[in-house]
Amino acid sequence: MFKWGCGLEFLLVLCGLELSWSCPRHCICYTAPSTVSCQAHNFLTVPEGIPPDSERIFLQNNKIHRLLRGHFSSDTVILWIYSNNITYIEPSTFHGFTLLEDLDLGDNRHLRSLAEDTFHGLARLNALHLYRCGLSSLPNNIFQGLRNLQYLYLQENHLKFLQDDIFMDLHNLSHLFLHGNRLWSINQNTFRGLRALDRLLLHQNQIEWVDHLAFHDLKRLTTLYLFNNSLIQLSGQCLDMLPALEYLRLNDNPWSCDCKALSLWEWLKRFRGSTSSVGCQAPVNMVGKDLKELRKEDFPNCSTAPNSESRAQTHNLSGTVNPSMNRSVVIGSGDQTSVVQPSRPSRSRNCTKPRNRLSKGKEDNEVHHSKEVMADKDNSSSDFTEGGKHDHTSPDGTVTRRKHKCAPRTTMRPPSGVQQANNRAAISQSLLHVHAIFVALITTYVGSILR
């Protein structure tokens, strides 16, 4: 790989050579593929003089506050501007960027809003990072036409609501990260069209309503995280629509383990994959128990057929559900489930312990152990809920065998020279990387022991 510093450039000018590789001041440029790296230099604006043929542009960790049309060439393939202070993106900034594959706008906390057509026409876009951008809503057609998108990072925003069909065009989407928002309702058509989705992270929201048909298109989903939400119940029907599901986490919700829980209990009995604990917070005699440990006798006087409460929630396939209309169906449900507020922080760190105590009468079996390993990972989950450059790989901590899914991303990393050129950011990044590998190794090891 050739390295063209600015000093060399100056020499070339002196020699009267025609310059095809200029490089902006305070940046480092490379060729093959042509790369401009201007990270961590307190730039307040996009530096001038980025060569028009640059394929990869790295501007992370500056203080850039506006992105305007003409800042970048439409030949850009990779553009990283995460961890700046972008407050405005001119809607046409990326228009005509038909080669763009990776756009990272994450961690620009004051961004707050985006124009509907900001990403239109990005037919090759593979990864779009919008985590921690202070977004409280998304325009209707913001993801329209992104048929190549595989990774969409929307975690740690302030999203309260997702419009029906907002992901409709994302036929190729594999990872959808929505954790750490303020969502409270998942409707029948929220996730319509996501036929290739593999991983859906919805933890750390305020979800209390999941429509029975919410997951109807997610035939390839293997991983669903719903922990730390406000779910009182979830019907088995809902989960029956996920034939590929392998990893499910439901802990830290105020589950009500009365007749309402019967269909979930039945589903859990049938399910062959890994699940977290499902701690009951109501009724009084069930508080602290794990729904998975209950027996049929713990549901006296419940009819085996889908109970009346869950039938009340069924919606017609054709109709749309207005979430504000009947959220009370889930909350109230007619019995003494007077929404016991979860004592979450204390419970979460110990979620495997109460079960051991409660189930002392029963013998521990293989399944138990593997489930406990799953639950213990509650701890490591913080590694990937914080939302950073490595988000897309870290959930592999639980799904190690899917490593290849993330492989294409490794080809998009900056060349080693770019990282070396950048002092502190590079070091912390590589530390993160080492950490991620370490976690992956340990999980693989534990996984192989269990097998």
Ligand X SMILES: *[C@@H]1O[C@H](CO)[C@@H](O)[C@H](O)[C@H]1NC(C)=O
Q: Which residues contribute to the site for ligand X (CB under 6 A)?
A: 63, 85, 87, 110, 147-148, 172, 204, 228, 252, 300-301, 316, 318-319, 325-326, 328-329, 344-346, 348-350, 353, 376, 379
Closest CA to 57 of 102, 97, 88: 102
The least CB distance from residue 184 to ligand X, in Å, is 11
Q: Which residue has the tokens 């701690």?
A: 279
Dist CA 88 CA 43 (whole Å):
16
Q: What Cα–Cα distance (Å) separates residue 225 from each residue in 74, 130, 311, 342?
A: 37, 19, 25, 18
Q: What is the DSSP letter of 106?
A: -
Helix 366-376 crosses helix 424-450 at what angle (to 10 degrees)?
A: 170
Closest CA to 249 of 327, 179, 185: 179
Q: What Cα–Cα distance (Å) separates residue 356 from each residue in 330, 352, 360, 421?
A: 30, 7, 6, 52
CA atoms within 13 A on the CB side of 279: 29
Q: Which residue has the tokens 């013998």?
A: 363
Phi, then psi, of 436 in degrees rounded to 5: -60, -45
Phi, then psi, of 249 in degrees rounded to 5: -125, 125
Q: What Cα–Cα distance (Å) separates residue 238 from each residue in 212, 233, 242?
A: 5, 11, 8
Dist CA 46 CA 81 (whole Å):
10
Dist CA 155 CA 170 (whole Å):
17
Helix (H, G, I), strand (E, B) or coil at 404: helix
Contact 280, 255 (CB under 8 A): yes
Per-position b or e across 280-291, b if 16+ CB within 10 A of its CB = bbbeeebeebbb
The least CB distance from residue 18 to ligand X, in Å, is 38
Q: What Cα–Cα distance (Å) separates residue 205 from each residue in 180, 256, 333?
A: 6, 18, 22
The least CB distance from residue 414 to ligand X, in Å, is 23
Cis peptide before 24 (omega within 30 of 0): no
Contact 426, 415 (CB under 8 A): no
| β-sheet bridge partners, residue 79 | 57, 103
